[in-house]
Amino acid sequence: MAFHGIRELENYFVPFLQRFKSLGEWKKIHASIIVHGLSQSSFMVTKMVDVCDKIGDMECATRLFKQVANPNVFLYNSIIRAYAHNSLYRDVIRIYRQLLRKSLDLPDRFTFPFMFKSCASIGSYYLGKQAHGHLCKFGPKFHLVTENALIDMYMKFDDLADAHKVFDEMSVRDVISWNSLLSGYARLGQMKKAKALFHSMPDKTIVSWTAMISGYTGIGCYVEAMEFFRGMQLAGIEPDEISLISVLPSCAHLGSLELGKWIHMYADRKGFLKQTGVCNALIEMYSKCGLISQAIELFSRMKRKDVISWSTMISGYAHHGNAHQAIETFNEMQRAKVKPNGITFLGLLSACSHVGLWQQGLKYFDMMREDYQIEPKIEHYGCLIDVLARAGKLEQAVEITKTMPVKPDSKIWGSLLSSCRTRGNLDVALVAMHHLAELEPEDMGNYVQLSNIYADLGKWEDVSRMRKLIRNGNMKRTPGCSLIEVNNVVQEFVAGDDSKPFWTEVSSVLQLFSVHQAQDVIKNNGNLAIL
């Protein structure tokens, strides 16, 4: 077959590269391209590198690129794109530097998005800033895809100022621009700014709603997270797996079982229960809402269990005081050859704490460090100290507080103080109280605990002294609160707060209950003396 020029020859091979069916056929096409003298054609090699990218053969892509003496910017972009698609981000930066040093061409709008992604992925803020400088020098001043990638890079570096500056300077913004900025604010817990941005968005997608739900869940504002979840549904946007995983922790913490069950049915109907992450979130929700049997059933039906699945189930058993089942689940996890993580051992230590298995607790703490090389965090030390304190090993618990590599927090000293009342150990109580007075000087509960210990030991002068200190000190008391779910809406009632809607009606009903209770007492006892 005769060809009238190099371009016609190149175009001849393109359809073959687009529709080859096997590796053997690909090798024949490659050989034919070499025979026809196209191994130095940047156009032809670009097409072949794109094929290598699709089939994941980066060794072949690298060989093809290296054989070209003078690659043009299109070939550079092709190999950079291929490396980025295969998560070879350091190779992206290496090739980018080669482009700057050796090529007569300059980086263009197809180069920079992958460069920004690579800098963010390897965590190099310095290189990212350099690449931004090159964009200002070489690249197009305004290009939507590039600017979106730049916002995303700055957000991954937690650089909100530069991300917002790029956003403000954009001549055109699309939904990706808005969502990138919104997701960054939400991920960092800056929900006031995220909410303002959300309400100013011209178009909201499921990504926008999920970012808000996840952001509020992340900072413990569970009621707000559920409000946005319902708002998303009212806006006619169907939840996906990510939005379900984002809202389920809020259901768990608020005890919103009705919504949790609805999510379970919805996930089953949509086929989301095939996703391990959705099942893990449902298991946690059922465990924290008191339906451990539902959690067990869901766990047993899972075809693929990851370390989070096992750890969540172990923590669920611990939450319900079933230490022996938690330990047995851990043994099954080991038999399944799933490597535990820090959360796994946190659940085990918590389980041991509930039933006083202090020897088992020490065993798992040592196993975590020695067998799995997991460095204990303050939460692990807190659980271990709680295990020992509840079992009456107060001196051993105090010794650990002196040798642990991190400074004990108020939870650890509070655990010791609580255990001292059961054991009547005033010496350890005073040590714990000394630290709590420094860490939480305004917490009334700690002083009340110590006062109760004095009372149990008959030290009434010390009790009087503590009560005087409480009265005269600038102490804070956490008000009691309760939650109730009615028609999928969670209502929170806080002691002393009468700002709730229908508070007058609620108070009237409560007073009515009190009257009926008094009448029952009179009926059964004949007088009001016991009231």
Per-residue model confidence as pLDDT tens digits over 136-145:
988 777 789 9
Whether residue 232 is contained in a domain is answered as yes
Whether residue 377 is contained in a domain is answered as no
Give the pair of three-digit tokens for residue 388.
């020992």
pLDDT of residue 398: 86
Residue with tokens 């379970």: 264
| CA 108 and chain centroid, separation | 36
pLDDT at 402 over 90: no
pLDDT in tens, 348-381: 999 998 888 889 999 999 999 999 999 999 999 9
pLDDT in tens, 15-57: 767 777 667 777 787 788 777 777 788 888 888 898 888 888 8
* Mean predicted lDDT score pLDDT of the chain: 86
pLDDT of residue 434: 86
SS3 442: coil
Query: DSSP string spanning 3-20?
Result: -SSHHHHHHHHHHHHHH-
Whether residue 215 is contained in a domain is answered as yes
Whether residue 482 is contained in a domain is answered as no
How far apart (Å, rounded) are the C-alpha atoms in residues 96 and 111? Answer: 8
The count of domains in the chain is 2
pLDDT at 495 over 60: no
- The pTM assigned to this predicted structure is 0.78
pLDDT in tens, 181-238: 999 999 999 999 999 999 999 999 999 999 999 999 999 999 999 999 999 999 999 9
490: β partners: 485
**Residue scoring higher pLDDT (445 or 116):** 116
Selection from 193, 131, 196 nearest residue 157 by Cα: 131
**Residue scoring higher pLDDT (267 or 28):** 267
For 451-466, what is the mean pLDDT?
A: 84
pLDDT band at 458 (very low <50, low <70, confident <90, very high): confident
Selection from 463, 377, 383, 391 nearest residue 423 by Cα: 391
pLDDT at 444 over 90: no
Query: DSSP string spanning 36-90?
Result: TT-TT-HHHHHHHHHHHHHHT-HHHHHHHHHT-SS--HHHHHHHHHHHHHTT-HH
Name which of 39-48, 253-262, 354-363, 502-511 the model is least confident about.
502-511
pLDDT of residue 526: 47
Give the pair of three-digit tokens for residue 492.
């929170």
pLDDT of residue 262: 94
- Tell me what percent of the residues of the chain surpass a pLDDT of 90: 54
Q: Which domain holds residue 286?
A: 209-304
Residues 257 and 251: beta-carbon distance below 8 Å: yes
Give the pair of three-digit tokens for residue 88.
């070879």
Q: Which of 284, 304, 324 is the last residue of a domain?
A: 304
pLDDT of residue 445: 82
Give the pair of three-digit tokens for residue 318.
């611990």
Contacts of 337 (CB under 8 A, 6+ apart): none
Report the number of secondary-structure helices (H) and strands (E) in the chain. Answer: 29, 2
**Residue scoring higher pLDDT (282 or 428):** 282
Q: What are the backbone angles phi and psi of residue 310, rounded to the nearest 5°?
A: -65, -45
Q: Which of 276, 304, 332 is the last residue of a domain?
A: 304
Highest mean pLDDT among 221-230, 382-391, 426-435: 221-230
For 238-260, what is the mean pLDDT?
A: 93
Whether residue 235 is contained in a domain is answered as yes
pLDDT of residue 81: 95
pLDDT at 530 over 50: no
491: β partners: 484
Whether residue 287 is contained in a domain is answered as yes
Whether residue 257 is contained in a domain is answered as yes
Q: Which of 247, 280, 304 is the last residue of a domain?
A: 304
pLDDT of residue 496: 54
Give the pair of three-digit tokens for residue 476.
């804070």
pLDDT of residue 333: 96
pLDDT in tens, 315-341: 999 999 899 999 999 999 999 999 999
Selection from 100, 113, 37, 98 nearest residue 62 by Cα: 98
Whether residue 242 is contained in a domain is answered as yes
How far apart (Å, rounded) are the C-alpha atoms in residues 489 and 492? Answer: 10
Give the pair of three-digit tokens for residue 250.
């809020």
Question: What is the CB-side half-sphere exposure of residue 50 using CA atoms within 13 A?
Answer: 14
pLDDT of residue 263: 95
Residues 436 and 405: beta-carbon distance below 8 Å: no
Classify 285 in phi/psi space as left (phi over 0), alpha (psi -120 to 50) or beta: alpha
